[in-house]
Amino acid sequence: MTSPHLDLERRIEDSLPARLRRPLDTIDSAVTTFLERYGITALRIALAVVFIWFGTLKVTGRSPVEDLVKDTIYFLPADTFFIIIGVWEIIIGIGLLIPVALRFTLLLFWLQMAGTFLSLIILPGRSFQDGNPLLLTVTGEFIIKNLVLIAAGLVIGSTVRRRASPKT
């Protein structure tokens, strides 16, 4: 919770005359109601599109991260495992798009996300400039952006029990 002294929006709103506050509050209420109603669904669909797209690129042999993934999983049969990862991502995407088994989908999602960070450990030279973990390469940025995907997964995961509860 933000301190009222640090909440710039609250301070500006409090300084407005009441005749402006009421219509702004009405607009704000309408926008936040819309976001509440559709935000999680939009997030789930967007994440599904990313996973289906990236997985399809892997399965069709058109992924720009093929070398990175294969170099990271050097201890497994790279060509086969790369296709498996692509199919895995497509399954995650479909599971997010049609959330009939969302817990299972999220389990696959968490396992896949954990795997993406292996490159930071196994291939640090491709992820960090001069070995400095604060200086990311393009590859490092590509991997670290997965923190946003993880946050999206947390938000989607927070809805699982609500989705499963009976409507009253």
- Domain spans, the chain: 17-160
Average pLDDT, the chain: 93
Length of the chain: 168
Q: What is the pLDDT of residues 125-150, one digit of tens each?
A: 999 999 999 999 999 999 999 999 99
Residues paired with 84 in a beta bridge: none
Token pair 């927070």 is found at: 158
Extract the tokens encoding 88.
């895995």
Q: Specify whether the CB–CB gap between 63 and 109 falls below 8 A.
A: no
pLDDT for 2 equals 61
**Stated pTM of the model:** 0.86
- For residue 112, the tally of other CB atoms under 10 A from its CB is 19
Region class of 130: left (phi > 0), else alpha (psi between -120 and 50), else beta = left
Q: What is the pLDDT of residues 45-69, one digit of tens each?
A: 999 999 999 999 999 999 999 999 9
